Amino acid sequence: MAVARIKFSRLGPVRYLGHLDMLRYFQKVVMRSGISAKYSEGFHPHQLMSFAYPLGVGMETKGDYFDLEISGDETAAEIKERMNAVMNEGMKVVDCAILPEGETAAMAAVAAADYLLEYEGAGSADLAEAVEGFLKQEEILINEGEEEAEHKGKKKKKAPKDIRPGIMELRPEDKAIFMKLKSGSAMNVRPADVFDKLAGYAGAKDSLSILRLIRLEIYKDAGGYIPLIG
* Higher-pLDDT residue of 166, 175: 166
Residue 7: pLDDT band with limits 50, 70, 90: very high
Confidence (pLDDT) at 151? 56
- 199 touches 142 (CB < 8 A): no
Using alpha carbons, select from 70, 161, 162, 167 the residue that is nearest to residue 115. 167
- Domains, the chain, in order of start with CATH, read 2-103 (3.30.70.580), 110-227 (no CATH)
Residue 155: pLDDT band with limits 50, 70, 90: low
Dihedral sign (CA 207, 120, 195, 132): negative
Residue 125: pLDDT band with limits 50, 70, 90: confident
Q: Which of 177-181, 190-194, 204-208 has the lowest mean pLDDT?
A: 204-208
Positions of E strands within the chain: 2-10, 49-51, 60-70, 91-98, 110-121, 141-142, 147-149, 155-157, 161-162, 167-173, 176-182, 208-221, 225-227
Confidence (pLDDT) at 106? 95
* Higher-pLDDT residue of 188, 205: 188
* Higher-pLDDT residue of 158, 43: 43
Left, alpha or beta for 112 (phi > 0: left; psi -120 to 50: alpha)? beta
CA dihedral 22, 24, 27, 28 (to 10 degrees): -110
